[in-house]
Structure 1
Amino acid sequence: MWLANDQYACRVSVESIEVARSILEHLSGAFVFKASEPMRQGFAPPWCSFRVIYGSDLSFRKLAALLTAMPGACLQVSS
């Protein structure tokens, strides 16, 4: 899983649509995020990416910690 910080949004890239759905489900149970843009097929299938838009009450660091806590998560952060 790759994360890229974009102020109050985070681009998430993962290895499959199933993983993306699992991440969105996990995040929606952990906090109320403002929106998620539609998932898009990545440049190298089966990878896909999406952006999670969140409010000022959640920092990128806290979002990364939520994702790291997921079972089996292997996180790479790009700036």
Structure 2
Amino acid sequence: MSDVMPEAPEGAAPVESYDPAAPAPLGVPRVPTGHPGVDAGLERLADADHLPADGHLEVYEDVHRGLREALDALDARPQPSPSYEHRS
């Protein structure tokens, strides 16, 4: 077997080698929710647009953690106001 590549037929376009594309934004719009914690997570997702696929996990886990914290805060009991005085 020969290591020499056969020549392309005359007039045929040369075959290009595979060159993966650089990371690029998907163009998915991120609409603000009005909740600062959630909006910060949505903006953090933009960081994944410029990373190769193996860097996405860290961003997704970070956003997931922030969203869980925002949801947990909704379940927390509100603390009484420090200016509230109970009179009997």
What is the TM-score normalised by the length of structure 2?
A: 0.24
Choose between structure 1 and 2 for higher RCO, CA contacts under 8 A separated by at least 6 residues: 1
Counting helix residues as a fraction of each chain, which structure ranks higher? 2
Larger radius of gyration: 2
What is the TM-score normalised by the length of structure 1?
A: 0.26
Counting strand residues as a fraction of each chain, which structure ranks higher? 1
